[in-house]
Amino acid sequence: MNCCSMNILLLPIVIPLAAGVLTLLLPRALKGVKELLALVATGATLYYAWVLFQAGEDVRLLVPWTSFGIDFDLYAPHFARFILLAAAGFQILLTLYSTSFMSGKWRSKEFFAYLLITAGMTNGAVLSNNFIVLLFFWESLLVTLYGMISIGHKGAHPTATKAFIISGAADFLMFLGILLAWKISGTFTMSEIHLDSHGLGAAAFVLMSLGAMAKAGAMPFHTWIPDAALDAPLPFMAYLPAALEKLLGIYMLGRISLEFFTIHMNSPLSIFLMSLGAITIVFPVLMALVQKDYKRLLSFHAISQVGYMILGIGTGSAIGIAGGLFHMLNHAMYKCTLFLSGGSVEKQTGTTDLSKLGGLFKAMPITALCFWVAALSISGVPPFNGFVSKEMVFHGAWETGHPIFAVAAWLGAIFTFASFLKLGHSSYFGKRSLDMPTQKPRESGLAMLIPMLVIAGGCILFGVKSEIPLKHFIEPILAGKPVVEGPMEFWHHAYDINWIVGVSMGCLLIAFLLHLYGFAKSGGKAHLASEPVHNLPVAHKLYDWAEADVFDMYNWFFNKTIRGSAAAIYVLIDRGIDALYERFMIWVGQLGIGRLKEAHNGVYANYLAWVIGGFVLVAWVLVSAAAR
């Protein structure tokens, strides 16, 4: 290890952090400086991430921090270098986009500062090789999460609080899981931890993976995301829930299931992950289907798609895991593009309400094009990137011998495509709505279009030439891991015709027909195309409950259950003890004093009797002591 390789691990953390702190200190009057600073900082980060990725060696930086095995330990194996490179790419593109989108917005200086600090903390979490250093960066993200949501608008703070509490609770679960892993292994050094998943190990696995999945936005830790879609500044959605949190959460889940523990096909832990993945696919996508707001619809997909990644990793088969990890990268790309297209629409039309949009293709052709590339990618239409990774997940799920998981994944595919047909149709095609706040929308500026075009181009490239990401990014992660049997040349079969692809194409067809039916049924209003599903007898009631947050863990657990129990404990125990002091002790005291007072009645003989009695008592004690 030489001095340069040491520095290069620190740079992707320190550069954005320093720039972020500097941005906070900048005077408000300086125009354009914060944007320039942010671009330079994220550009430098990307450069060093690229150098690090190219270097191809596992560099490490180990500096003692404090006692008990807590060392400042950074290490960059292939997996971390890949995630760092991807994260750095999103960081600069989102910064570029924000320079235009956030210009003139409320508290935009803070936005850039949080964006940069988040970048530094994320990069730190990716590179850390000591669990405490990991927690240090990982949990620090809570602070900027809270900040970024609360600057959305004046009433955004309840959502920020909700996000903070849910994510904070999940982080504490991970914290506990890490301490359990430490209890078993006796070390915090991540590269040295390889544990059995039995007994305490299983508990550690579940807690750590819950923490990782919560970061990625899986159920039941997802409920703040749709709220944030409406309240937070839009680039935040593309930045964290769509891109960085997915990368970070799934990166950690990947390391937990491949490295710290080994997940075997059909082991209880594998079933646990797959079940959580399947649930996370199905329910949010059903919610997404009936949404009538551009951003909120996307946010439910940001949850649903995590299900594919978790399902893929949970299969324990090489193709499934590779598919899950590839899907993570693909999702970050297309979901980012989708949110950015939403931001473009919001900026130009002044609304994201689907009933007020329509016919934007002509006015905003590039935004529309990018949207459709990303929408077809997320729906798993060939030849875009989402198709390849989803097929790999379907294969992996089928290999486990539990068809239910593959069925859940296909079900998700139907509704994903249906909801994107609805979204795309109602905003870009059809007639322009008269309710649109800006009646003459124009195409957005280059700063917003370039990020969308770059990522949408990536979606096509990674679909058509899927061997590039698979060979350079994904396969080295799996190389040498016990789950891999035989050669991993997934891309050879990416476009093979087999019955699994047939089923997937069938799902797409069903979705298309569903949309046509709904469109016809609603009288040509594309944003109502999902109403036939929405109005199914039982479904309607469930949808109403879901919209009223009945299923929201934040609502029933963090609000109602905890508040109720706290009230009971407060009244019964705390106030009970206080009553002992305030009532019982005073009553006892008064009772005793009352009796003693009665002894003071002023009668001489009475006092004499006390004196003689006392004298007798003392004499008796002395005499009996002397006699002994």
Partner 1 sequence: MNWEFLVLATVLIPVLGSFTVPLAGLLSRPLRNAWAVLLGLATTACAMALIPTALADTPHVFTHAIGFGLDVIFVVDGLSVFVASVSSFISTLIIIYSLGYIKEYDYQQEYFMMVVLFLGGMMGLVFSANLLLMYVFWEITAICSWRLVGFFRDREIVLKADKTFLTTFGGAVFMLLGFVMVYMRTGTFNLLEMRGFPLRGWEILFITMGIFAKSATLPFHTWLPDAGVAPTPVTALLHAAVLVKIGVYAFARIFNFTFAVPMDWQFYLMLLGLISAIVSACAALMETNIKRLLAYSTISQIGYIFMGLAAFNVIGITGGLLFILMHGLAKAGLFLAAGVIEHGTGSKDITKMGGLMKHMPLTGVAFLLCIFSIIGIPPFGGFFSKLMVIQGVIQSNHLVIACLAIFTAILTTIYLLRLFTLVFLGEPRDASIHAHHEGTPVMVWVVVASAALSLAAGFLVKYPMDLVGVALTDILGNPTVQGILGQ
Which residues contact partner 1 (rule: CB under 8 A)? 65-68, 132, 135-137, 139-140, 142-143, 150, 155, 157-158, 161, 164-165, 168-169, 172-173, 175-176, 179-180, 182-183, 200, 558, 562-563, 565-567, 569-570, 573-574, 577-578, 580-581
User: Which residue shows structure tokens 């649903």?
Assistant: 304
Strand, coil or helix: what is 290?
Answer: coil
The pair phi, psi for residue 209, each rounded to 5°, is -70, -30
Q: Tell me, what amino acid is at 142?
A: L
Nearer to partner 1, 199 or 480 (CB): 199
Query: Is 384 in contact with 376 (CB distance < 8 Å)?
Result: yes
Residue among 298, 300, 328 at smallest CA distance from 312: 328
Q: Tell me, what amino acid is at 413?
A: A
At closest approach, how far in Å is the CB of 52 from partner 1?
24
At closest approach, how far in Å is the CB of 165 from partner 1?
6
Distance, CA of 453 to CA of 456 (rounded, Å): 5
3-state helix, strand, coil in the chain (%, to 5): 75, 0, 20
At closest approach, how far in Å is the CB of 205 from partner 1?
15
Distance, CA of 463 to CA of 392 (rounded, Å): 13
Residue among 362, 364, 203, 216 at smallest CA distance from 277: 216
Nearer to partner 1, 429 or 570 (CB): 570
Nearer to partner 1, 565 or 590 (CB): 565
Burial track 537-571 (b if 16+ CB lie within 10 A, e otherwise)? eeeeeebeebeeeebbbbeeebeeeeeeeeeeeee
At closest approach, how far in Å is the CB of 269 from partner 1?
19
Residue among 175, 223, 208, 209 at smallest CA distance from 277: 209
Distance, CA of 340 to CA of 239 (rounded, Å): 10
Spacing of C-alpha 525 from chain mean position: 34
* Gyration radius (Cα) of the chain, Å: 31
Distance, CA of 329 to CA of 369 (rounded, Å): 21
At closest approach, how far in Å is the CB of 152 from partner 1?
13
At closest approach, how far in Å is the CB of 69 from partner 1?
10
Query: Is 319 in contact with 392 (CB distance < 8 Å)?
Result: yes
Nearer to partner 1, 580 or 608 (CB): 580
Query: Is 256 in contact with 205 (CB distance < 8 Å)?
Result: yes
Nearer to partner 1, 74 or 436 (CB): 74
Nearer to partner 1, 404 or 562 (CB): 562
At closest approach, how far in Å is the CB of 505 from partner 1?
46
Nearer to partner 1, 200 or 505 (CB): 200
At closest approach, how far in Å is the CB of 164 from partner 1?
6
Nearer to partner 1, 157 or 465 (CB): 157
Nearer to partner 1, 171 or 353 (CB): 171
Nearer to partner 1, 173 or 483 (CB): 173
Distance, CA of 343 to CA of 596 (rounded, Å): 82
Query: Is 263 in contact with 257 (CB distance < 8 Å)?
Result: yes
Distance, CA of 251 to CA of 157 (rounded, Å): 29
At closest approach, how far in Å is the CB of 314 from partner 1?
25
Strand, coil or helix: what is 465?
Answer: coil
Q: Tell me, what amino acid is at 134?
A: L
At closest approach, how far in Å is the CB of 443 from partner 1?
37
At closest approach, how far in Å is the CB of 171 from partner 1?
8
Nearer to partner 1, 182 or 272 (CB): 182
Burial classification of residue 203, based on how many CB atoms lie within 10 Å of its CB (0-12 exposed, 13-18 middle, 19 or more buried):
middle
Nearer to partner 1, 138 or 420 (CB): 138
CA–CA–CA angle 458, 424, 230 (5° rounding): 90
Nearer to partner 1, 103 or 189 (CB): 189
At closest approach, how far in Å is the CB of 302 from partner 1?
24
At closest approach, how far in Å is the CB of 169 from partner 1?
5
Peptide bond into 77 cis (omega under 30): no
CA distance readout (Å), 395 to 223, 312, 320, 378, 483: 30, 9, 7, 17, 15
At closest approach, how far in Å is the CB of 573 from partner 1?
5
Distance, CA of 166 to CA of 171 (rounded, Å): 9
At closest approach, how far in Å is the CB of 137 from partner 1?
8
CA–CA–CA angle 357, 424, 277 (5° rounding): 125
Nearer to partner 1, 138 or 417 (CB): 138
Distance, CA of 179 to CA of 186 (rounded, Å): 9
Nearer to partner 1, 21 or 617 (CB): 21
**DSSP string for residues in 561-622:** IHHHHHHHHIIIIIHHHHHIIIIIIHHHHHHHHHHHHHH----HHHHHHHHHHHHHHHHHHH
Nearer to partner 1, 498 or 565 (CB): 565
**DSSP string for residues in 529-545:** TTHHHHTSHHHHHHHHH
At closest approach, how far in Å is the CB of 296 from partner 1?
23
